[in-house]
Amino acid sequence: MSQWWRLSRPAGVTRRDLALFTRSLARLMEAGLPLAEAVRLAADVPGGPLAELSGDLCAEIRAGAGLSAALARHDPPTKPVFGPVYRALTGAAEAGGTLAQSLNRLADYTERAEQLVQSVRSGLIYPALLLGAALVSLLILLLFVVPRFESLFAGLGQDVPFLTRMIIGGAGLLRNYGWLLLVSGAAGIFYLRRRMRDTHFRRTLQARFLTLPLFGPVLTKIILERMARSLAELLTNGVGLPEALTLSASVGGDNPYQKGLMRTAERVREGRPLSDALADQGLFPELMLQLVRVGEHGSALAPMLGHLADIYAMDVEANAKRLIALLEPLMVLLIGGVMGIVIIAMIGAISSVNDLVIR
């Protein structure tokens, strides 16, 4: 699932770092600096994650390699820093002699991707804080407050209500076997990370995420926005349509849409129009098919794909806001219900003790 929310990069290089490097490199080249010197200055940010690559890249460029070739040699396939789309856009720009202008567009592309992810993340901050505070409060109740009542009820030798016994029993299990829960959780995370290396398991899991009732449509539109945006940029820079389709499939992660776009590339190589090849998959939404069809007939495929990406980006932001607006009251009700059950159970037990004292 992580590939949906960030371009393929090691953890030390963020999308913001990549956008800053690309924008700086474009500005330095527009100022007339040689490519090797521009790369060195753009990447040489103190403590920056790209600084360690700058020396190798500059050495390759001074030896006569182009920027895309230098990036490819120092972009390992397992954990690429730049990714195939970035390298392809750079190579096409070099071939067309428009590297500085294309780098500016590439920086725009990277910044838009970052802006979309940040808008979703920022909206999730409050629900995450609310959930964290509720979990901490519940743990305090179960680990420190409930045990005090447990000793009180045990000393009276009086049966307490069933709900109270359940709460006390749950608190006891948490105190005695909480470490087992932590170990099991850590083992589960470790097992899942290992299983995610299996391509079939990863594709199956990510396909399941796309079917979730609330989150699935948002994730789907994020994937389609990434694919449409990268495809538009590749076509704008002169990359051939079949190759652009293959490269764009890589930005969406392991999911049915990636496989569908790869099959579409094969149909296009056979001579099929893009809109027909996409429709053959029975996977892509009608809006995408319609805009692609209009772009093909109007000889404006790249602009229409860019417009499609903008539509999906706006839909993602709107859907994310609606989802968060729905999650907040649901979480408040859930948290209030759980806390209310604990408090009612304790109050009920105290009431039964008072009744016993009065008698």
246-259 residue pLDDT tens: 888 877 677 888 88
- Could you tell me the residue range of the domain that residue 207 belongs to? 114-359
End position of a domain, from candidates 32, 59, 82: 82
Rounded (10°) angle between helices 162-195 and 301-358: 150
Lowest mean pLDDT among 29-43, 322-336, 341-355: 341-355
**Does 141 lie in the same domain as 60?**
no
* Residues above pLDDT 70, as percent of the chain: 87
pLDDT, residue 339, reads: 80
Per the domain annotation, does 97 fall within a domain?
Answer: no
Other Cβ atoms less than 10 A from the Cβ of 227: the count is 27
pLDDT digits (tens, 9 = 90+) for 134-152: 888 888 888 887 777 777 6
Positive or negative: CA dihedral 128, 132, 137, 138: positive
**Does 213 lie in the same domain as 126?**
yes
**Does 331 lie in the same domain as 184?**
yes
Other Cβ atoms less than 10 A from the Cβ of 151: the count is 8
C-alpha closest to that of 260 among 251, 270, 249:
249
pLDDT, residue 1, reads: 39
Per the domain annotation, does 105 fall within a domain?
Answer: no
Token pair in block for residue 189: 């995370």
Token pair in block for residue 301: 């495929």
**Does 344 lie in the same domain as 224?**
yes
Q: What is the mean pLDDT of residues 6-23?
A: 66
| Residue 185 to residue 187: CA distance in whole angstroms | 5
| Residue 6 to residue 13: CA distance in whole angstroms | 11
Per the domain annotation, does 107 fall within a domain?
Answer: no
Per the domain annotation, does 104 fall within a domain?
Answer: no
Our count of domains for the chain comes to: 2
C-alpha closest to that of 301 among 262, 274, 265:
274
Which CATH number does the domain housing residue 211 bear? 1.20.81.30
CA distances from 190 to 61, 111, 181, 187, 226 (A): 41, 32, 14, 5, 29
* Residues above pLDDT 90, as percent of the chain: 10
Per the domain annotation, does 87 fall within a domain?
Answer: no
pLDDT digits (tens, 9 = 90+) for 269-300: 999 999 999 999 888 999 999 999 999 988 88
**Does 291 lie in the same domain as 150?**
yes
End-to-end, the C-alpha distance of the chain in Å comes to 62
**Does 69 lie in the same domain as 207?**
no
Per the domain annotation, does 88 fall within a domain?
Answer: no
**Does 126 lie in the same domain as 71?**
no
C-alpha closest to that of 71 among 106, 39, 104:
39
